[in-house]
């Protein structure tokens, strides 16, 4: 359905703030104004869940997770940045493959199936968006995805 995206993202993040792991700080940078996305709310919520869960899971104690929205003319770019262990450059594309886990030690330590990002990618593409990753090993990871906009209005307030 047609969704006012900034308000929606505030809602999603508010829900995380309510039971945030004590060792993690969640920051948001969301522009004011209104932008509309045609989307399946449950599916886009699953996209946020998968990416944010990873950011928490692969972050050190005291780590910051930043959610940033960049509104362009025809799309919104959502980025979720963490200060975790990062991903080697040559593995950046592979993390979106089914069952891919960056290394065995990680698999033992953190559990999971390696399906999260593969499903996330399918959901983003079903919304005609793109998803990719940037990372500096040892410094953190940023997952970025886009969603097409139906229209925007700059303005004040949420």
Q: What is the contact surface with Mg ion in residues (CB under 5 A)?
A: 54, 116
126 binds ligand ATP (CB under 6 A): no
Shortest Å, Cβ 52 to Mg ion: 10
Residue corresponding to tokens 């996209």: 47
Looking at the Cβ atoms of 67 and 87, the one nearer to ligand ATP is 87
84 binds ligand ATP (CB under 6 A): yes
Rounded alpha-carbon distances, angstroms, from residue 109 to 51, 95, 102 = 18, 17, 12
**Residue 61's CB: how many other CB atoms inside 10 A?**
8
Shortest Å, Cβ 85 to Mg ion: 14
25 binds ligand ATP (CB under 6 A): no
Contacts of 16 (CB under 8 A, 6+ apart): 26, 52
Site track for ligand ATP across 88-117, x = CB under 6 A: -------x----xxx---x-----xxxxxx
H-helix or E-strand spanning residue 136: strand 131-136
């Amino acid at each position: 359905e047609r969704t006012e995206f900034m308000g929606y993202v505030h809602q999603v993040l508010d829900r995380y703030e309510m039971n945030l792991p004590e060792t993690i700080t969640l920051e948001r940078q969301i522009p004011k104004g209104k932008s509309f996305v045609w989307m399946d709310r449950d599916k886009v919520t699953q996209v946020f869940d998968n990416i944010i869960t990873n950011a928490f899971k692969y972050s050190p104690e005291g780590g910051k997770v930043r959610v940033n929205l960049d509104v362009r003319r025809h799309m919104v770019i959502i980025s979720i940045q963490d200060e975790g262990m990062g991903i080697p450059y040559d593995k950046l594309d592979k993390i979106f493959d089914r069952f891919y886990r960056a290394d065995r030690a990680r698999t033992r330590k953190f559990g999971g199936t390696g399906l999260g990002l593969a499903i996330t990618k399918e959901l983003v593409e079903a919304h005609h968006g793109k998803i990719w990753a940037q990372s500096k090993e040892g410094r953190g990871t940023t997952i970025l995805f886009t969603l097409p906009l139906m229209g925007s209005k700059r303005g004040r307030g949420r």
